[in-house]
Amino acid sequence: MINWLYISTGLFLGWSLGANHAVNVFGTAVASRMVRFRTAALVAGVFVILGAVLSGAGTTRTLNTLGSVNAMAGCFTVALAVGLTVTWMTRLKLPVSASQAVVGGIVGWNLFTGSPTDTLSLSQIVSAWVLGPALAALFALLLFRALTFTLRRAKLHMMHLDAYTRIGLIGVGALAAYMLGANSIANVMGMFVSAYPLSELPVAGIMTISGTQQLFLIGGFSIAAGMYTYGERVLATVGKDLYKSTPLSGLVVILAETLVLFLFTSESLEGILLRLGLPTIPLVPLASTQVVIGAVIGVGLAKGGRGINYGVLLKIASGWITAPIAAGLLAFILLFFVQNVFEQRVVKQMEFTVDRDVLEELQHRGVDTRALTPLLGARYDGSSRFRESLEQRRQWTEAELLTVFAAAEVDSLRVDSLVVRQSLDTALTSPSQRRALYAMHGRIFAHRWQLDRALAVADSAWRVPQGPGADAAARNLVGLRKELYGLLRVK
């Protein structure tokens, strides 16, 4: 029950996100009076849940690499800080980005616990925040011009045009809601995946719902509830004040947003690009508010740039800067109080050691280990103490710290062939991979990378694939390794 209490802040965050981001799905449609609010909210709610459950894994994986909140009390606190930030800015009628608030909250947790921040993942997320609105503006401009050109040639009767537009708004709004759920569920439940994995749930003997999908399901319901109960309050800012929407421009805005969310969310598209040997688009949770505003601006530019309220645009942009800073500071403060006043464990303290094996591994990874030699044989409880000891000896980049932490973290793993036979999904492994595991029965490893290396030596199928088009296979292998760590960890 206490774990479900912790998850309640994630549900609160989902409700806040739904209330704030309803405008991103059907704001222009409702503002143009082509679709009633409650009808749009109901359709969007159904599809946002489907998107979260069926397609939410890609962006969640990227967000977790930024920082893995590993204790339920920590997840509760960070989600509460983010939810309060989003709700506060919603009450100010600012369509703030929940994605940016979540990133700020996770970085705040990293700072509080002394954990390194994955700057590569952070740079991918931030660059997507910039690229997303730009692409949306370009798509909206081209779509609007193509649509107006087509309509001039078609010469539809006004009644027929209204009917087609209304159908289009509902259909495209449903697609936008699906992509919003797939892209944004990482913000709502992504941080809980590592700390509270649920058991698989069989359904009527025909399918199985994974623990992650169960979290995504309840998170999707919370987003839908926010849309339906509180989403109407933010409609005025984007749908009316920023640009005077028409039904056709509303259709174009939603379609442009849907295309951009698809590009940054779809694992299927990523797989196609990999097979063709083309560069892939990072799967990251976008600031969908920025995306829809970029689309609104693109329509405005297609009409000559007249009618855009740049004062409202600047007001909204200020929220983009304020949200991550406010969420990060609030998360840091709340974590202090939850840990020291309420005596809850907000972080699972990991143990770190610097031994000769760790030094050799770091040298193999290209890290200068001269500053680590005096620490040989030392052990540390908690990332904060380990980081403090490291920084006393020289300055490190976040990328270097991330590598050192990964190599020095202590984890007790014991290979048990019986556990492997009973619990490891045979569909995820090849016969040669399982034979390599069985042959290691009884071996104990103090670091996860030692197990990885031993498996790679035993069978080439355990080696991370390299080269063009290997990204998806590499991610699958990393996921398989994480499952294996959980099975072999000595409790």
**pLDDT above 70 as % of the chain:** 91
Tokens at 350, concatenated: 């990991």
pLDDT digits (tens, 9 = 90+) for 142-178: 999 999 999 988 888 888 888 998 899 899 999 999 9
Mean pLDDT of 319-347: 91
**CA–CA distances in Å: residue 128 to residues 189, 206, 215, 234, 261:** 20, 38, 25, 24, 11
How many beta carbons lie within 10 A of that of residue 336, not counting itself? Answer: 13
Contact (CB, 8 A) for 22 and 41: yes
Q: What is the pLDDT of residue 290?
A: 81
Task: Check whether 468 has a pLDDT greater than 70.
Answer: no
**84 versus 471: which is more confidently predicted?**
84
Q: Tell me how far the alpha carbon of residue 73 is from its chain's centroid.
A: 20
Q: What is the pLDDT of residue 197?
A: 63
45 pLDDT tier (thresholds 50, 70, 90): very high
Question: Which of 140-149, 193-202, 294-303 shows the highest mean pLDDT?
Answer: 140-149
Lowest mean pLDDT among 146-160, 342-356, 382-396: 146-160
Mean pLDDT of 60-70: 86
Q: What is the pLDDT of residue 242?
A: 52
Q: What is the pLDDT of residue 444?
A: 95
Cα 420 to Cα 22: distance, rounded to the nearest angstrom: 45
Task: Check whether 241 has a pLDDT greater than 60.
Answer: no
CA-nearest of 299, 298, 270, 292 to 283 is: 270
Q: What is the pLDDT of residue 260?
A: 96
Task: Check whether 295 has a pLDDT greater than 60.
Answer: yes
CA-nearest of 180, 195, 181 to 77 is: 195
Mean pLDDT of 38-53: 93
Q: What is the pLDDT of residue 276?
A: 76
Q: What is the pLDDT of residue 236?
A: 57
**pLDDT above 90 as % of the chain:** 48
Helices (H), 72-118: 72-91, 98-113
Contact (CB, 8 A) for 337 and 114: no
Cross-strand pairs, 203:
207
Mean pLDDT of 69-97: 83
**241 versus 263: which is more confidently predicted?**
263
Q: What is the pLDDT of residue 316?
A: 64
Place of tokens 């087509």: 150
β-strands 351-353, 201-203 pairing: unpaired
Lowest mean pLDDT among 15-19, 26-30, 427-431, 486-490: 26-30
**401 versus 238: which is more confidently predicted?**
401
Cα 481 to Cα 471: distance, rounded to the nearest angstrom: 15
Task: Check whether 113 has a pLDDT greater than 80.
Answer: yes
Lowest mean pLDDT among 84-88, 148-152, 365-369: 84-88
CA-nearest of 362, 350, 482, 367 to 410 is: 350
Mean pLDDT of 381-401: 94
Q: What is the pLDDT of residue 19?
A: 83
Mean pLDDT of 238-248: 63
Task: Check whether 439 has a pLDDT greater than 60.
Answer: yes
Q: What is the pLDDT of residue 23?
A: 75
Question: What's the mean per-residue pLDDT of the chain?
Answer: 87
Q: What is the pLDDT of residue 120?
A: 86
pLDDT digits (tens, 9 = 90+) for 314-329: 766 676 788 899 999 9
Q: What is the pLDDT of residue 368?
A: 93
185 pLDDT tier (thresholds 50, 70, 90): very high
Lowest mean pLDDT among 115-124, 396-405, 436-445: 115-124
